[in-house]
């Protein structure tokens, strides 16, 4: 385990809560969380348990980051077309 991974893991251990939401509960809320963030509000204040889960769960965090970035592109009218994406896949 690399040193920064170990430090991150230690931090995760100390930030563990007795009650944490599940991956399914995170999935249920993640589009709302992203929507709040993209509207310029603070989703952490509204949904601290989702933020806590995202800090502990790499899989849900990666999905969140992809959804957020895709949502931002769509809001900006820059959603890549199928052809654009096809050209990126090689």
Partner 1 sequence: MSNKRTNQEWLHDLNASGALQEAAVADLRDLLLRAALYFFSRNLGDFQGLNQDEIMQRAEDCAQDALIAVINHLSDFRGDSKFTTWAYKFAINIAMMTARRERWKGVSLDELASSEEKYFNEWMIRDKSDGVAPEQSAMQGEVQAILRDVIEYDLTEKQRRVLLMMVFNDVPMDEVVRHLDTNRNAVYKMLHDARRKIKSSLQARGFEIGETLSLFDASG
Residues that bind partner 1 (CB under 8 A): 1, 3, 5-7, 9-16, 18, 20, 22-24, 27-28, 30-32, 34-35, 56-59, 62-63, 66-67, 70-71, 74, 79-82, 85-86, 88-90
Going from the C-alpha of 76 to that of each of 5, 31, 34, 41, 87, the distances in angstroms are: 35, 17, 15, 17, 21
Query: CB of residue 13 vs partner 1: minimum separation in angstroms?
Result: 5
Going from the C-alpha of 37 to that of each of 51, 59, 61, the distances in angstroms are: 12, 19, 14
Query: CB of residue 23 vs partner 1: minimum separation in angstroms?
Result: 4
Query: CB of residue 40 vs partner 1: minimum separation in angstroms?
Result: 15
What is residue 17's three-state secondary structure?
coil
């Amino acid at each position: 385990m690399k040193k920064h991974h170990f430090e991150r893991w230690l931090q995760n251990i100390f930030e563990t809560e007795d009650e944490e939401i599940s991956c399914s509960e995170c999935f249920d809320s993640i589009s709302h969380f992203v929507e709040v963030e993209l509207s310029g509000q603070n989703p952490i204040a509204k949904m601290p348990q989702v933020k806590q889960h995202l800090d502990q769960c790499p899989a849900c965090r990666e999905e969140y980051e992809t959804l957020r970035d895709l949502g931002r592109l769509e809001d900006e009218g820059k959603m890549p077309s199928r052809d654009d994406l096809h050209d990126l896949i090689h």
